[in-house]
Structure 1
Amino acid sequence: MLNADPFAIRELLGPDAAPGRRAITGEHGIVLPAFTDHHVHLHLLEEDSLASRGIAGVVDLGGDPVALARRSREGFPHVSHAGAFLTAPGGYPVGRPWAPDAISREISDPSIHPGVPGGVATAVDEQAACGASVIKVSLNAATGPVLDPETLGAVVACARERGLPVVAHVEGEGMTRRALDAELDVLSHTPFSEWLDGASIARAVALGQRWISTLAIHDGVDRERAEINLATFARAGGRVLYGTDLGNGDRPVGIQVPELAALDAAGVRGPALIDALADPWPMDAATHAVATFVPGDPPAALDDVPAWLGGATVVPADEIARDEH
């Protein structure tokens, strides 16, 4: 039998956590909401093992929109996507070895009239027609040109007319401010290339901006900046989403314990860590009838939660018998 106090479990892992049993195998463990990695690139990874290693859903933040549109809607992971990066002519990630031409659209005209070659509406409409749930823009001034404020504003307006949020890759001096001025919905990485002051972080929180973590892809001063920026943002009430930029670097697919440990160290702990994993963004609610299952006893303390979550797997919800007391 599982050694678990349901009240202690909820204190460590949040109100939706409960002891349970897999009906087919009889295995006892802890049941949690389904987990999403909010930043992946499916064309760079082998996705078949995601579910067995705890990830039910992913958000592809830069891929071939036609290939993504052709994906089956059945099975796992459940995929939401942005389609292609919208970027300035010659901007990131154009020309990168990992970035085939199909994953970028170069915006050369701020026009919001459909069909204009290189126009904003043309690019946004293409991603929407291919089933995008979010539009992604590139604001990487560290390595090339970026969308000017007028064009960026046109992308935001055009996307919102179509009911789509806008997420940005922000890198380089002044790019977080540009994202804030444009009132972008989400940052695809915690800001790592510049220190943010309290006023900037307060603006991000007031806008309701979400930040996708991706802390563990960095090292050195970039890692330090990202962790401190995220810790300040989270303490101020900012919404944090678990994301790993999976496909970037040689890492096994599935739950990334180093990312969880970095979030924990930045103060996103226990129930807040589960919230970052289980947030259905960009959907309003989870669309898959599965749960996260971690076999065996629950973690003994908050410090144990990141490593313990490394044992998570995805299980059909109707296979779980919850042991509520």
Structure 2
Amino acid sequence: MTDAPDASALGPLARRVRRSLNGDHPGETGTMLPPLVDHHVHLQLVRPDDAVAGGIAAVVDLGADPGAIATIARTEGLPHVRYAGAFLTAPGGYPSDRPWAPAGSVRELRSVDGDADASAERTREREHQALAGPVEAVVDEQWRFGASVVKIALNADAGPVFDRPTLDAVVAAARTRGLPVAAHAEGPGMAELAIEADVDVLVHAPFTDRLDDELIARAAAAGQSWISTLAIHVRDGGPAAGIAIDNVRRFRDAGGRVLYGTDLGNGDLRAGVNPDEVAALVRAGLAASAVIAALADPWPERTAGWTDAGVATFVPDPAPSGADLADPEAVAAWLAAAQIVPTEELEPR
């Protein structure tokens, strides 16, 4: 570590700054980053205030009662919130039977591939813009509650999952509303199903199986993004952490877009910037600059404007430099010290 690192080594999002003499810790030097985002949280399972305790200014909630999360998102102050609304799943599918799933947070959809007469009638209705079918109605419900993304559950280890026609119908209905589709893919063949169905985002880096290089290349070429959530596997032990880290490494090598996310609300996890998550991303081949990019990515929005509210992330010196920029523990310890501060308190050096 050095006391005066070259900010350019941390990537284009980093700027060397000094704390204003009019603010807290006057004269302290460090690095200014954009407001940081945890792209996978569950705010009905944790206190929203906890999410900002360690440098996270914005979050993406990926499974909640639509009315409840819309109310939380309207609360003034931090964190800024984008959300998916309810989990969409097959009848009896994950997480409909989970005690942690908040009331009203799951919508079960029957298969659209029913008898031929009913299928033909649904087609005629859509062609004439008549009453929406069940899939369209459920997607429209999330949109009306202000969702920025649609969340589907494909967990073959925990119950039934959508067949391909129903999955395609959900993706099509979401695209009609301009919403990306994010999938929880768990169990044999589920990541493959999500990739083949052109799902936009996997909410967990695949951890069930080592995906083959060709499938990973297809996901990256299609523009799919993966939310990391590696720390939950590091915490739990077992082979999942190694599988997920290896898949992320090869996805990044193929040009894939990785988003930082922790699944905050899933058991005991440190709120704010999670050092275990950061260290696992570095082990997956992301340099410090790439980890910062994953933390600052505006998804599910296309621009960073939704995280702007006169605040920035400040990380005090010393910052990593040289070989430490690729050292998991060094990068994790540095970013874990991140703080949210008013932008006006930071002066460029």
Which range, TM-score by smaller chain? over 0.9
Alpha-carbon separation, structure 1, partners of 2:278 and 2:131: 43
- Choose 1 or 2 for highest CA Rg: 2
1:320 aligns with 2:323: no
1:297 aligned residue (314, 318, 330): 318
**Structure 1 residue 222, shift from structure 2 partner:** 1.2
Within 5 Å, which residues of 2 pair with 1:35-184? 35-71=36-72, 72-110=74-112, 119-184=134-199
**Structure 1 residue 298, shift from structure 2 partner:** 1.7
2:15 maps to 18
Identical amino acids, percent of aligned pairs: 53
Code of the residue aligned with 2:153 in structure 1: it is S
1:213-249 residue CA offsets vs partner (Å, 9 max, x unmatched):
0111112111111111111101111100000001101
Q: What SS does structure 1 have at the residue aligned with 2:50?
A: coil
2:7 maps to 9
Structure 2: where are the runs of 5+ without partners?
113-121
The answer (yes or no) to whether the contact 2:111–2:165 under 8 Å persists in 1 is: no
1:5-39 residue CA offsets vs partner (Å, 9 max, x unmatched):
4xx2221x111211112321223221011110000
Alpha-carbon separation, structure 2, partners of 1:191 and 1:114: 39
Please give the TM-score of this superposition, normalised by the length of structure 2.
Answer: 0.87
The answer (yes or no) to whether the contact 2:52–2:271 under 8 Å persists in 1 is: no
Alpha-carbon separation, structure 2, partners of 1:147 and 1:103: 17
Q: What SS does structure 2 have at the residue aligned with 1:271?
A: helix
Code of the residue aligned with 1:65 in structure 2: it is P
**Structure 1 residue 316, shift from structure 2 partner:** 2.1
Alpha-carbon separation, structure 2, partners of 1:158 and 1:206: 23
Structure 1: where are the runs of 5+ without partners?
none
1:199 aligns with 2:235: no
Code of the residue aligned with 1:298 in structure 2: it is A
The answer (yes or no) to whether the contact 2:221–2:255 under 8 Å persists in 1 is: no
Alpha-carbon separation, structure 2, partners of 1:277 and 1:252: 16
Code of the residue aligned with 1:210 in structure 2: it is S
Alpha-carbon separation, structure 2, partners of 1:9 and 1:223: 31
The answer (yes or no) to whether the contact 1:115–1:121 under 8 Å persists in 2 is: no
1:45-64 residue CA offsets vs partner (Å, 9 max, x unmatched):
12213323110110000011
Alpha-carbon separation, structure 1, partners of 2:50 and 2:210: 36
The answer (yes or no) to whether the contact 1:47–1:253 under 8 Å persists in 2 is: no
Q: What SS does structure 2 have at the residue aligned with 1:277?
A: helix
1:188 aligned residue (186, 196, 203): 203
Code of the residue aligned with 1:138 in structure 2: it is A
The answer (yes or no) to whether the contact 1:57–1:79 under 8 Å persists in 2 is: yes
The answer (yes or no) to whether the contact 2:42–2:265 under 8 Å persists in 1 is: yes
1:235 aligned residue (249, 253, 278): 253
2:270 maps to 252
Alpha-carbon separation, structure 1, partners of 2:52 and 2:192: 37
Alpha-carbon separation, structure 2, partners of 1:136 and 1:98: 17
2:282 maps to 264
Code of the residue aligned with 2:65 in structure 1: it is D
Code of the residue aligned with 1:39 in structure 2: it is H
1:157-194 residue CA offsets vs partner (Å, 9 max, x unmatched):
11001100000000111111111121000000001011
Alpha-carbon separation, structure 1, partners of 2:149 and 2:64: 12
- Tell me whether 212-221 or 183-192 shows the greater mean CA deviation: 212-221
Q: How many residues align?
A: 318
1:30 maps to 31
Alpha-carbon separation, structure 2, partners of 1:223 and 1:186: 19
The answer (yes or no) to whether the contact 1:109–1:120 under 8 Å persists in 2 is: no
The answer (yes or no) to whether the contact 2:42–2:264 under 8 Å persists in 1 is: yes
Q: What SS does structure 2 have at the residue aligned with 1:42?
A: coil
